[in-house]
Structure 1
Amino acid sequence: MKRLFLIATLVGAAPALADEGMWTYNNFPSAKVKEKYGFEPSQEWLDKARLSSARLAGGCSASFVSANGLVMTNHHCARGCIEQLSGAKKDYIANGFYAKTEAEETQCPAMEINQLEQITDVTETLNKATAGLSGKPYSDTLKAKMSELEQACSAGDAKVRCDVVTLYQGGKYNLYKYRRFQDVRLVMAPEHAIAFFGGDPDNFEFPRWDLDVTFLRVYQDGKPAKTENFFKWSEKSAKEGDLTFVSGHPGRTSRGLTIAELEYQRDVAMPKMLFMMSEVRGMVTEFQKRGPEQKRISNNLLFGVENGLKATKGRLEALQDKKFFGQKVAAEQELRKKVDANPEMKKKYGAAWDEIAKAQGQLVNVRKDLAFVEQGNGLSSSLYSIAKTLVRASEELPKENGQRLREFNQANVPALTAGLLSPAPIYPELEIMRLSFGLTKMREELGSNHPFVKKVLGKESPEKLAARLVKGSKLCVLKDVKGSKVCDVAVRKGLLDGGKAAIAASKDPMIQLALALDADGRAVRKNYEENIDAVIKKNAELVAKAKFEAYGTNQYPDATFSLRLSYGSVKGYLEDGKKVEPVTQMAGTFEHATGEEPFALPPSWLKSEKLLDGATAMNLVTSNDIIGGNSGSPMINKDAEIVGLVFDGNIQSLGGEYGFDESVNRTVAVHSDAIIESLKKIYGATRVLEELRPGSTKIPSVPTKPAG
């Protein structure tokens, strides 16, 4: 792969240089931006950008782009909703969707959008509560105090979400207060063929020619929400050398992990993950050959697996690069020498690395039970996941908030309820296939004599058990509504409202299985949280404090799916000795097309080729530091105006999990000009255009009829 590189800086070894860093909004290095680019974001600028940014709670970024609740994100971030609203007779994934009127905007079955309203540093409060504690007391106290802070913050308001965010591996804690939107409706989405043009072969590559965009709208009290803060559209095209900012929610980086933790990822976790995902890809690919409907209902699963497979492979190759890993080792050794040279620091922090290493050793021993007994890798079924959540909810929700499992705390209840009662379709044939595969892998990994395997399978084969469970469950009764399949969730609602008594009385085979296995999962989880996770968290906190003492606090924390701001510029790079230009043009889209998947353009594009200005910028790359989770992030200029929409990174950026190299790491975005050109001349999306650019130039007299 074209991706092995030298890392310019390593988090924890020194303050970040160049364009490195996914910075929190309450610790953004505005002075550094001014030093390099001549522009210093003010507090007012930062507040406006923060409030104009949005998060899809399911794992992507977004932005508000009008005063009437219009939200922009990636097509691949919204494809779950698009697929759930589709049916065999109206496939919005294949044909696209456009609501010509407000009445046609259709609610996503299970989507939540968050807007970060406030950040509060609660480090001192949590440190005081956990002072002198370790193991189970530390874990229990930390969890209870976090839940207490979150509950006090939301004050019972379902429209407010509050999360305590762990930063610097526990060196700091911030309380993030969000405005929560749970009525989210689909407004416009192009066809999958152009949103993911080039498919898996072009994924994480550049040059690119994708229109990976979707527009949603948040509603409140049945009406479009009024959003005072939103990003306006830039009238000027972003060009090479222009300063760019990306405001989004990077999911996870591991730049601050210890060597022992990285070795576990390199030698144990990721190789197993790659094997598993490769097998899942083969399984889904074979399933798709059964027919067009099987292909339609499994496309989203295949997309996720292929994306994860390529990303994981890139991360593994980064850790397997001896020169790169040697830099990580040297950085840790340098810090440990500083700690050992100072008697006071050595007393406080000296043992932390060894304690984490011991915990990683224990994790190797329990990882299979953790994965298959508690995390449900063998019971890979949407129906079983719902059943398990219902069973646990009946136990957890009656408890005091601080005593619950973290995912059931009061701050999460609105999202939990929305997910459980979502009418999103669950297809039996796909469920049986997934569950059969998962049960087979469970037996293979744990062994046929493992007590849990015997308890789950009994005398049945994985295939027979999967079929019996899925066919016998009433947790989703599919029915047709206006040409689309939806779940009747009446049984789920009764179980959620009825609590323990309803769960105990249920004859649903999925509920019965989840109830029978609950104690097994809880025991494995308890051991992990108290004897492994608590040790890692406590000692990671000590490592972070050692870094602060040694190098100061002018560092950015690892990504945690919380809002971050990065800065960079439109910039090409060298690959194999050749310069990769930073901007592609729309004409290149047609030149790249072959007529065969995944390089086949949709009919709407082929019909509109002569209407388009081929010189219009299509995609661009910048030196912004991003990672997975940044998909859907707005790319803005110094005037806080939209100049692009982030949808990917280049192949070299996959090593960004562990470090950053400005010379090759690149963010890939849809150029703002391409979005306007396609909305105007291909889709005739007048309503969206008028919101993005009030008074936009008129639509061509004979626009292509929009799909949907």
Structure 2
Amino acid sequence: MKKAILSAISLLIFSSPRAKEGLWLPPNLIDRQNDLEVSGLRLPIEKLYNPDGTGLNNAIVLFGSGCTAEVISSKGLLLTNHHCGYGTVQGLSSVKNDYFANGFFAKNNAQEIPCPGLTVTFIRKIENVTDKVLYYLPDTMKNKIRDSIIALRVAAVEKDYEKSTGLDATIKPYYNGNQYWVIVTETYKDIRLVGFPPNGIGKFGGDTDNWMWPRHTGDFSMFRIYAGKDNKPAAYSKDNRPYRAKAYFAINTSGYKEGDFTMVYGFPGYTQEYISSYQLKQVYDITDPIRIQARSIKLDIWKNNMDNSRDLFIKYASKFAHIANGWKKWQGEMWGLTTNNVIDKKRAYENKFQQWANDQPAKPYAGILPAMDLATQAVNDAMRNDEYIKETVLGIELVQQGATLDKMLQCFRSKMPVAQLQDTLKKLCNKGFYKNYDLATDKQVFRALMPLYFSNSTGMPAYYSRTYRGYNKNFAHWANDVYRRSAATGIDKMEALAEGAQAGDSTKILADPAWKLYTAVTEYRTKKIVPLMQRYYNKMNTLNRLYMKGQMEESPRHDFYPDANLTLRLTYGHVKGIDPDGPAGYSYQTTLDGAIAKDNPDIEEFKVPEKLKELYKKKDYGRWGVNGTVPLAFIADNHTSGGNSGSPVLNAKGQLIGTNFDRVWEGTMSDYYFDPSVCRNISIDIRYTLFILQKFGGAGWLLNEMKLVKN
């Protein structure tokens, strides 16, 4: 009877509540053809992925280092999220050219703005090379030896692929190192800004609405890929031409209805669906709560100061959005883990797994879970202390700049000639940091976060406790002195240090309080915490690899997919509304009506631009109007993660109907546990994107290069 109950629990965990989940590797979609077609796919499976250049994989790019974008014209036009382009546009903005307040829409190719440092990467081919990497490697081989052999084999196989294709090749592990796949890529480096709506559209609702549904955010931006005359990647040049795309998405302007089949194709960043209850408890008890606590304090200070200064708002907008995004997500994650009793569900499965493993004496599975239990208990205190260091002390920008001072110190110690020393130090001054830095704001953060560290640390550098006593345990006095004396508080001070540098001037850095704070805490981590954590992670890498393999053997009928690792995946589901707290009448779609209803000129996050209000008042929607309004956003039950921001949302024919930009707050635990009753991805309707582009931005010329279709 007990075994029957445990089997039922396992079936419940691995089937019914997780039926719609999955982040599928494109080459393996052929194995899911039947399920895709039953779900609604009306496109030949080989059109989704093939390595000959015509598959839809060739119309999707990794945008920068953590988002997705899609090619929507034969001339290399890219569509992604507003928040994906936010950091790039911040670097292009100023008080004079305030693209956050006013937006930007090029009226022709000549007006498109180069974006230094921005890249996009195409995935040309993905192949399973597990046999070439893992042949004759026993599962129980010592980890250090096993890893060194794998590293040598990976390097050799990557080199072979690069030689045979003439492209870049990277091999990544999947299923916790039980499989290896090579990814052949092509990266373009001349990317230019084409369209970026103002924050009143692209960031409408701000952090209040972030992760929430209903949603009314026009979260899109447009860029263009430029290439050399041979259509290959090239550094920026005025002679470059728009990239000639063999594959790009047709845009369906007929819309959708609830229940319609959808796909999301992109680069999900990180999931841990198969970890043990012991590791999940660390997330629930340690990392998420500490991050939420520390970032709440920092964000309150930043927001108050940003609200009172437009200049400071521009400086901190991108940083604030980045910090706040995780802060709110982790709160939803904890809510979802609690509501779904995920830790208890994992424990129930682990009991069943342990019984199965005990019956497999010839296999290395019986000791895995007990070893995980012991390993996590042994490291929890160090993990807690480290998390407080990273979120408090190293969350202070001036302390972070101690790293720059430390690099300067190494230059002094290298005994290079004075002229070379001065030139090298100037290059290290980090002007980009100071462009977006405010000393007074950072001092407030210091005064708020240092007490949090002191009250929660179970061990700290002797320099910290000694210095704290030296200021009579007064954090305000300590902050005043640090920010008065440190050279790292301003670019003028840093450049003065560099320009007048002489061989013996290293004493200036050794006496700098920001350098002392940085080096004291990093040395403490290096000696007291990092070795413990590294041993733990090494041990858990082995245990997780074996546990993953064991789960796949224990439940052979379950469709296991590899955890997200910022590689190309396809997920599919259906347009579907949500009632997270019971019947609520939430629709699957929002419209411009809802955005106008939220308009509040006194609150920056909810201030609708005047031009958009005029268009609404006149009902001047052009071809994008539907039933007297414009469809704005919709939700579906596709399994997405961070990195899917900007991903194309496709209909059954593989045509673009929207751009993914968020998840609902109630379902953010999907990185650890996918519950189809509450997990929803949020997308901007392509019709709203085109309405804003044409009627608000006056960039209707771009429609001429798109392939617009109807059902």
Q: Distance in 1 between matches of 2:320 and 2:664?
A: 21
1:378 paired residue number: 393
The answer to whether residue 375 in structure 2 is matched with residue 359 in structure 1 is yes
1:411 paired residue number: none
Distance 1:579 1:515, change over 3 A: closer
| CA displacement 1:537-577 (0-9 Å, x = unmatched) | 01100011112212237311222222211111222233531
2:36 paired residue number: 33
2:436 paired residue number: 426
8 Å CA contact retained: 2:17, 2:675: no
1:59 paired residue number: 66
Q: 2:256 aligns with which of 231, 238, 247?
A: 238
Distance 1:608 1:15, change over 3 A: closer
Q: Distance in 1 between matches of 2:449 and 2:160?
A: 40
What is the RMSD of the two structures over their aligned residues, measured on CA atoms? 4.1
The answer to whether residue 686 in structure 2 is matched with residue 672 in structure 1 is yes
Deviation at 1:643, TM superposition (A): 0.5
Indicate the larger mover: 252-261 or 10-19: 10-19
Distance 1:77 1:274, change over 3 A: same
The answer to whether residue 365 in structure 2 is matched with residue 349 in structure 1 is yes
8 Å CA contact retained: 1:19, 1:568: yes
2:462 paired residue number: 451
Q: 1:81 aligns with which of 78, 81, 88?
A: 88
Q: 2:658 aligns with which of 620, 641, 644?
A: 644
Deviation at 1:85, TM superposition (A): 1.3
1:686 paired residue number: 700
Indicate the larger mover: 8-17 or 298-307: 8-17
Distance 1:234 1:257, change over 3 A: same
1:635 paired residue number: 649
The answer to whether residue 130 in structure 2 is matched with residue 123 in structure 1 is yes
Distance 1:521 1:464, change over 3 A: same
Q: Distance in 1 between matches of 2:401 and 2:357?
A: 48
The answer to whether residue 187 in structure 2 is matched with residue 180 in structure 1 is yes
- Paired residue type of 2:207: D
Distance 1:121 1:156, change over 3 A: closer
The answer to whether residue 579 in structure 2 is matched with residue 563 in structure 1 is no
Distance 1:393 1:155, change over 3 A: farther
1:19 paired residue number: 20
Q: 1:43 aligns with which of 39, 46, 66?
A: 46
Q: Distance in 2 between matches of 1:151 and 1:454?
A: 51
Secondary structure in 2 matching 1:580: coil
The answer to whether residue 591 in structure 2 is matched with residue 591 in structure 1 is no
1:319 paired residue number: 337
Deviation at 1:387, TM superposition (A): 6.8
- Paired residue type of 2:576: K
Q: Distance in 2 between matches of 1:334 and 1:289?
A: 54
Map 1:224-263 to 2 at 5 A.
224-263=242-281
Q: Distance in 1 between matches of 2:148 and 2:298?
A: 37
Q: Aligned residues: percent identity? A: 22
Q: 1:218 aligns with which of 221, 225, 237?
A: 225
8 Å CA contact retained: 1:368, 1:445: no
Map 1:136-285 to 2 at 5 A.
136-137=144-145, 162-220=169-227, 221=234, 222=237, 223=240, 224-285=242-303
Distance 1:459 1:290, change over 3 A: farther
8 Å CA contact retained: 1:388, 1:511: yes
- What TM-score comes out, normalization by structure 1 length? 0.80
8 Å CA contact retained: 2:62, 2:267: yes
Q: 1:541 aligns with which of 545, 561, 572?
A: 545
| CA displacement 1:300-323 (0-9 Å, x = unmatched) | 333333332221111112222364
Larger Rg: 2
Deviation at 1:57, TM superposition (A): 3.5
8 Å CA contact retained: 2:402, 2:488: no
Distance 1:584 1:379, change over 3 A: closer
Q: Distance in 2 between matches of 1:515 and 1:23?
A: 44
Distance 1:152 1:667, change over 3 A: same
Distance 1:618 1:473, change over 3 A: closer
Q: Distance in 2 between matches of 1:71 and 1:504?
A: 48
8 Å CA contact retained: 2:434, 2:490: no
Q: 2:482 aligns with which of 461, 465, 485?
A: 465
Q: Distance in 2 between matches of 1:278 and 1:304?
A: 13
Gaps of 5+ in 1: 1-6, 396-416, 479-487, 496-500, 697-708
| CA displacement 1:235-282 (0-9 Å, x = unmatched) | 432223321110112222222110110111111221111111211122
| CA displacement 1:334-363 (0-9 Å, x = unmatched) | 222222222223xx1111222222222233
1:481 paired residue number: none
- Paired residue type of 2:562: P
8 Å CA contact retained: 1:110, 1:419: no
Q: Distance in 1 between matches of 2:218 and 2:282?
A: 38
Secondary structure in 1 matching 2:395: coil
Secondary structure in 1 matching 2:97: coil
Indicate the larger mover: 385-394 or 123-132: 385-394
Deviation at 1:592, TM superposition (A): 3.4
- Paired residue type of 2:310: P
- What TM-score comes out, normalization by structure 2 length? 0.80
- Paired residue type of 1:263: K
Q: Distance in 2 between matches of 1:389 and 1:143?
A: 31
Distance 1:330 1:389, change over 3 A: farther
1:603 paired residue number: 610
Q: Distance in 2 between matches of 1:507 and 1:161?
A: 41
Q: Distance in 2 between matches of 1:323 and 1:615?
A: 41
Distance 1:173 1:369, change over 3 A: farther
- Paired residue type of 1:92: Y
8 Å CA contact retained: 2:101, 2:198: yes
Map 1:493-512 to 2 at 5 A.
none
Deviation at 1:635, TM superposition (A): 0.4
8 Å CA contact retained: 1:381, 1:435: yes
Indicate the larger mover: 630-639 or 683-692: 683-692
- Paired residue type of 1:229: A
Distance 1:578 1:472, change over 3 A: closer
